[in-house]
Amino acid sequence: MNRIKLHDKEFDIFIPYEKINEAVKKVAQEISKDLKGEDVLFICILNGSFMFTAELFKEIELDEPEVTFLRLSSYEGTDTTGQVKKLIGLNEPVKGRTLVVLEDIIDTGLTIVEVMKMLKEHNPKDVKIATLLLKPEKFSNKMPVDYVGIEIGNDFIVGFGLDYDQKGRHLKDIYKVVD
Ligand code: 5GP
Query: Residue 132 is part of a domain; what is its CATH number?
Result: 3.40.50.2020
107 assigned to active site? yes
Q: What is the pLDDT of residue 76?
A: 44
- Within 6 A (CB) of ligand 1 lie 48, 103-111, 156-158, 162-164
Q: Which of 23, 69, 46 is nearest to 166 (CA)?
A: 46
Domain interval for residue 41: 18-152
Asked whether the predicted pLDDT for residue 82 surpasses 90, the reply is no
The verdict on residue 158 lying in a domain is: no
Q: How far is the CA of 106 from the centre of ligand 1 (A)?
A: 6
pLDDT digits (tens, 9 = 90+) for 105-141: 999 998 999 999 999 999 999 999 999 999 998 887 6
Mean pLDDT of 10-39: 98
**Residues with Cβ < 8 Å from 129, sequence gap 6 or more?**
100, 101, 103, 106, 112, 116, 143, 144, 145, 146, 147
Q: Which of 107, 114, 148, 167 to mutate to test the pocket of ligand 1 (most atoms within 8 A of CB)?
A: 107
Please give the pLDDT value at position 103.
97
What atom of ligand 1 comes closest to residue 106's alpha carbon?
3
